[in-house]
Amino acid sequence: MSLAEINFDGLVGPTHNYAGLSEGNLASARNRDSVARPREAALEGIAKMRKLAALGAPQGVLPPHARPDVHFLRSLGFSGSDAAVWRRAWEEEEAAARAALAASAMWAANAATISPSPDCADGRLHASAANLSTMLHRFLEAEQTQRTLRALLLDEARFAVHEALPAHGAFSDEGAANHMRLHAGGEGVEVFVYGRSAAEARAGFPARQTLEACSAIARRHGLSKARTVFARQAPEAIDAGAFHNDVVAVAHEHVLFHHEHAFADKAALYAEIREKARGLFEPVFVEVSARDVSLAEAVSSYLFNSQLVSEPGASSLTLIAPTEVRDNNRTAAFVADMIAKPGAAIGRVEYVDVRQSMRNGGGPACLRLRIAVTAPERAALAQGFLLSDALADQLEAWVRSHYREALAPEDLADPALISETQTALDALTRILPLGGDFYPFQRG
């Protein structure tokens, strides 16, 4: 049965800010303590969703998490009213307070790994929430992500939602950002990309995904070894700032678009994908050489953090690239050449402005989690998460009435942020079908 891919984008939360929390993410480090614009960030995200929907790509929405995470701060021994907890955390444990405020759940590519039903032994779609255990601020996301996935993928006869793997460095997992799937509409070849094995010590920037995490997810999801590939990310890519594989590679249908230096052993990867795709499809590899685009340019422009989409009726794929690719002469020229070639696998480009997210190292592909479903599975998804014009209008109005225009470093300790965000998110649970106990603050 053929599958349709839905992009579920994370809605940017009201506390979007630049706290410099992610070592190895060059944009996050560079923009630490600059002034963020949460309202603009959220509206950019919704505009991007609208654009994809207008191109004919099914689009869904995932809710932000409640921030600051007061529950986490209480677990560190802070007590009293929420405002008192927040004030004292800033005085005594600034790093924890910064982590508790991050709106990083917006990057839905890190929420989970999804294996569509034709790939899984029991014929159900499997989803594993990511433990995000490498970075403190991201590790706080797993529990609420599970709640979101359970709200969306309710029907246990069709969907299996797994908890995050044990949150230890041996099983560090960053979700779909390190997972690619090649296919021709049905069963596919799943490619898991890891930066290190559990026992390996590594100098340089953190490698956030272990081989053991990848293997565990493939096992839980019931994937066939004959159709599953584990590939090592090139250490030089990680050290150039590719903290996730999706900074240097993206796959869609039978096409893998990637930088020459994305993988440790490209030839072996090509051969294994070809072998494991036999009988299903013929893979197409679109490799970009370092001569055309250096790793540094790939990381600063986020060329590969584009989305690839199939527009209805089109014979080639469309690249949804961040405007930073157009602003960089070399990447802009590369893309113009690539799409002009006769018979190009990627034949069109559309640029999207997600600058607020990009300043924290999150491009178009980071903002989305792909869930590929059959028609009956699509009908079984919880209703109300798919974007319509009416829902986009409602979300924009909600953002305009609840989000601050600017969040400067000196605003972050303001206890008013707690009640503001709780009021906003409470209202959101009446726009998306989340219910009155979705957020921890609603449960008391």
* Residues annotated catalytic, as ranges: 174, 244, 366
| H/E segment holding residue 390 | helix 389-402
Smallest gap from Cβ 57 to ligand SUG, in A, equals 18
Cis before 58? omega within 30: no
Stretch that binds ligand SUG, among 106-114, 195-203, 322-330, 387-395 (CB under 6 A): 106-114
In the three-class reduction of DSSP (H, G, I as helix; E, B as strand; rest coil), residue 291 is classed as: coil
Q: Which two tokens stand for residue 64?
A: 């932000």
Stretch that binds ligand SUG, among 232-240, 307-315, 361-369, 413-421 (CB under 6 A): 361-369
Smallest gap from Cβ 307 to ligand SUG, in A, equals 11
Other residues' Cβ atoms within 10 Å of the Cβ of residue 204 = 12
Residue whose tokens read 């969306």: 152
Nearer to ligand SUG, 106 or 346 (CB): 106
Cα–Cα distance measured from residue 42 to residue 178, given in angstroms and rounded to the nearest whole number:
25
Q: Which two tokens stand for residue 365?
A: 């592909």
Q: Using alpha carbons, select from 249, 338, 346 the residue that is nearest to residue 292.
A: 338
114 binds ligand SUG (CB under 6 A): no
Cα–Cα distance measured from residue 160 to residue 172, given in angstroms and rounded to the nearest whole number:
21
Q: Using alpha carbons, select from 444, 439, 362, 428 the residue that is nearest to residue 67.
A: 439
100 binds ligand SUG (CB under 6 A): no
Residue from the set 320, 321, 366, 418 that interacts with ligand SUG by CB under 6 A: 366
Residues 217-256 that bind ligand SUG (CB under 6 A): 243-244, 246-247
Smallest gap from Cβ 23 to ligand SUG, in A, equals 9
Cα–Cα distance measured from residue 372 to residue 344, given in angstroms and rounded to the nearest whole number:
25
Q: Which two tokens stand for residue 68?
A: 């600051």
Smallest gap from Cβ 383 to ligand SUG, in A, equals 27
Stretch that binds ligand SUG, among 143-151, 264-272, 357-365, 418-426 (CB under 6 A): 357-365
22 binds ligand SUG (CB under 6 A): yes
362 binds ligand SUG (CB under 6 A): yes
Provide the residue type at 85 as one letter.
V
361 binds ligand SUG (CB under 6 A): yes
Residue from the set 301, 360, 421, 422 that interacts with ligand SUG by CB under 6 A: 360
Terminal Cα-to-Cα distance of the chain (whole angstroms)? 44
- Rounded to 10 degrees, the C-alpha dihedral 408/414/419/424 comes to 0
177 binds ligand SUG (CB under 6 A): yes
113 binds ligand SUG (CB under 6 A): no
Size of the site for ligand SUG (CB under 6 A): 23
Smallest gap from Cβ 365 to ligand SUG, in A, equals 6
DSSP calls for 209-256 = -BHHHHHHHHHHHTB-GGGEEEEEBPHHHHHTT--SGGGTEEEETTEE
Q: Using alpha carbons, select from 207, 204, 113 the residue that is nearest to residue 165.
A: 113
Residue from the set 15, 59, 104, 117 that interacts with ligand SUG by CB under 6 A: 104
Classify residue 400 as exposed, middle or buried by CB count within 10 Å of its CB (0-12, 13-18, 19+). exposed
107 binds ligand SUG (CB under 6 A): yes
Q: How many CA atoms lie within 13 A of 262 on its CB side?
A: 32
Pairing mode of beta strands 368-373, 307-309: unpaired
364 binds ligand SUG (CB under 6 A): no
Residue from the set 42, 43, 49, 102 that interacts with ligand SUG by CB under 6 A: 102
Residue from the set 8, 18, 403, 439 that interacts with ligand SUG by CB under 6 A: 18
Residues 317-356 that bind ligand SUG (CB under 6 A): none
Nearer to ligand SUG, 110 or 228 (CB): 110
110 binds ligand SUG (CB under 6 A): yes
Nearer to ligand SUG, 280 or 366 (CB): 366
How far is CA 334 from each of CA 129, 266, 340, 424, rounded to the nearest angstrom?
Answer: 36, 21, 10, 42
28 binds ligand SUG (CB under 6 A): yes
Are 237 and 302 a contacting pair, CB within 8 Å?
no
Q: Which residues bind ligand SUG (CB under 6 A)?
A: 17-22, 25, 28, 102, 104, 107, 109-110, 138, 177, 243-244, 246-247, 360-362, 366
